[in-house]
Structure 1
Amino acid sequence: MESEAKYAVVGLVVVLLTLAVIAAILWLSDDGLSKDADEYVVYFEKQSLSGLQVDGWVTMRGIKVGSVESVAISKDNIEQLEVILSLDATTPVKTDSKAVIRRNLLTGLAWVDLTESTQEAQLLKTIDRKSPLGLPIIPEGQTELEAIADSIPRLIEEIGQVAQRANTFLSEDNRESVTNTLKNIEAFSNTLAKNDKAITELVSNLSEMSVELSKLSKSWTTVGNSAENDLNKVTAEVELTLKDLRDAINRVDDEVVVIAKALRNTADVFAAEATTISKSIDEAARSIARVADQFEDPKGAIFGPNRNTLGPGESRLR
């Protein structure tokens, strides 16, 4: 009875271990991805797929985002290798994303890496860029080693151009010119060495001259400042004089206006008086004329005018 209980426990443990192994296999086969996945296709033409296997990793910025579903030669173009990728639905594959092959140098195993994605680009699955399989196409990119390899021919060509220019520069005529130039430099150096004392004296004289020029400059600065101050004083005095002159002119203008007004008033008074005097003279003249007329006719002056005498403004009837 006791042995049967042990067998039951052993059997239960075996069953549990079997279920755990099956669950682990299922989890590993799922690659840790969610059940929602998007498929993309890459057509590799320049890069070798050596070491790339089905279920191999697909990474983006060092993080696993999917796996390789299949690897095959394209039916439409045998120069291209068709690789179908299964990526997590949340993977931000953009229109500027590129696919490159990375390799582990120790194991030789390869995987697909998605590079060059930017935040501003649109999601690839939102645009109409489909393959004959109906899947979005991720363009093939270029690895750093390939970029270096592509730059080597240009580098070699540039090195050749530099070598050609060097050969041209070092031609027979140029070598002779360079030799003469070096000789002239050597002769000039010897001349400088021979006249070292004179050059030292010249430098000393230049230094003293610099000091004197500095003193002279300071003197001129002082003179300039003094002249500027004097000029400012003269300018201020001239401005004050001009102001006084303007005030005097304004006062004269005011006096002239007052005098002119007084003259106009006096002229008006004289004119009125002259008019009055003229009227008085006129009336006096008329009175004198009447008196004279009376002296010419004494009878009329005593007894009055004759009836036949016409009065002022009268005329005889015809």
Structure 2
Amino acid sequence: MEAEARYTLVGTIVLIVSLLLIAGLLWLAGGADRVSYRHYTIYFTHQSMDGLDVSSAVKMRGIKVGVVDSYQFAGGGLDAVRMDIKVDQATPIRSNAEALVKRNFVTGVATIEIRNPDATSPLLTEVLPNERYPVIAEGKSDLDNVANALSKMAENGAQVLDKVNLLLSDANRKGISDTIQNLQAISTNLADNKQAFNTAVQSIHDAADEFRVAGVSITRAARSAESSIQSVGKNADGAINQATTAMENLQRQTSDVSNRLQGLAEIGTLEFTSVSRDLRSSADAVSSAGQRLSNPRGILFGTGKPQPGPGE
């Protein structure tokens, strides 16, 4: 019985150790990765995957933050490579993050570089429909920028060469040759007529001197005229001031005369009213006298007794 109990204890210990060993192997095989890593998906359409493999490094600002988990062709009509990566859960991958391929030209080893153009953007957590993990957008590598610049330079160089070829066409070469010959003929004529040219230059120089003297005279005359104009302006200002004073005096005298005429008109109106009143009184007196003269008998014999009225 003791032997069986001992064997049972040993078997139990061996079983527990085996289970612990299996659990440790599972943890080392990646069971812990699901706890300390976050997964993302990248679709590479324009960049080459040369030098990349599973477990290739994923870096941010030169620091390794994860590895490539898997990659395959996207399919579904997309000419792209679908790559799943896993990065440390403390890595700040923003919603506007970009992924690009950086390649060592000496060793040929490539890595995935993740950049955050705006560090204030929220973290990338949204999972799109039909996707397993959040999708990081594909960026443009420095090599692509250099290639594009070189391509543009090549295109510009080709255009320049085409323009040079057009400039150096047979017709243009003939025109340039004729122009050079004409310049040579002009140079020869100038050399032959050097004396006449010098004479013309001297004449121009003399004319310039005369113009300079005339300009000085004109300047002096202008200054003199300016002084005269200033004097005339001052005199005109004085005359205008005197005329203004005279006009003010004339206006003042006219106002006085107008006031006096208005007073005389008022006095004449009063006198005319008095004369009219006297004339009316005289007319009344004349009318009374006329009435009396119309009855001479009354004047001579008096009015007599008045006739008795009815009923008297």
Q: Same fold judged by TM-score > 0.5?
A: yes
Task: Give the equivalent residue in structure 2 for 1:180.
Answer: 178
Q: Residues 241 and 78 of structure 1: is their aligned pair in 2 closer, same or farther, counting only changes over 3 Å?
A: closer
Following superposition, the deviation at residue 107 of structure 1 comes to 4.4
Percentage of matched positions with identical amino acids: 18
| Separation in 1, partners of 2:99, 2:108 | 18
Who is 1:215 aligned against?
Answer: 216
Q: Which residue of 1 aligns with 2:65?
A: 66
Mapping of residues 127-142 of structure 1, within 5 Å: 130=128, 132-142=130-140
Partner AA of 1:86 in structure 2: V
Match of residue 20 from structure 1: none
- Work out whether residues 100 and 113 of structure 1, in 8 Å CA contact, stay in contact via their aligned partners in 2: yes
Question: 1:2-23 CA distances to partner (integer Å, 9 max, x unpaired)?
Answer: xxxxxxxxxxxxxxxxxxxxxx
Q: Is the 8 A contact 1:124 1:136 kept in 2?
A: no
1:275 aligns with 2:273: no
Instruction: Report the 3-state secondary structure (helix = DSSP H, G, I; strand = E; otherwise coil) of the residue aligned with 1:80.
Output: strand
- Pair 1:71–1:220, CA change in 2 (3 A): farther
Aligned to 2:148: 150
Aligned to 2:300: 298
Give structure 1 stretches of 5+ with no counterpart: 1-25
1:99/1:112 contact within 8 Å kept: yes
1:184-203, aligned counterparts within 5 Å? 184-193=182-191, 194-195=193-194, 197-198=198-199, 200-201=201-202
- Aligned equivalent of 1:86: 87
TM-score, normalised to structure 2, is 0.67
Kindly indicate whether the alpha-carbon contact (under 8 Å) linking 2:43 and 2:137 is maintained by their aligned counterparts in 1. yes
Amino acid at match of 1:72: Y
| Aligned residue in 2 for 1:46 | 46
For the Cα contact (< 8 Å) 1:58–1:65, is it kept in 2? yes
Is the CA contact 2:292–2:299 (under 8 Å) kept in the aligned structure 1? Answer: no
Structure 1 letter corresponding to 2:279: S
TM-score by length of 1: 0.66
CA distance in 2, matches of 1:129, 1:242: 98
RMSD between superposed Cα atoms in Å: 4.0
2:93–2:124 contact (8 Å) kept in structure 1: no
Cα separation, 1, equivalents of 2:225 and 2:214: 16
Partner of 1:263: 264
Between the aligned partners of 2:134 and 2:214, the Cα distance in structure 1 is 81
Alignment coverage as a number of residue pairs: 272
Which amino acid in the other structure matches residue 168 of structure 1?
L
Report the Cα offset of residue 93 of structure 1.
2.1
Residue-by-residue CA offset, 1:56-87 (whole Å, 9 max, x unaligned): 1421xx35373224141135357414142425
* Counterpart code for 1:262: G
Q: Name the CA shift for 1:246/1:85 in 2 (closer, same or farther; >3 Å).
A: farther
Structure 1 residue 179 displacement after superposition:
0.8
SS of the equivalent of 1:46 reads coil
Distance apart, 1:274 and its partner CA: 0.9
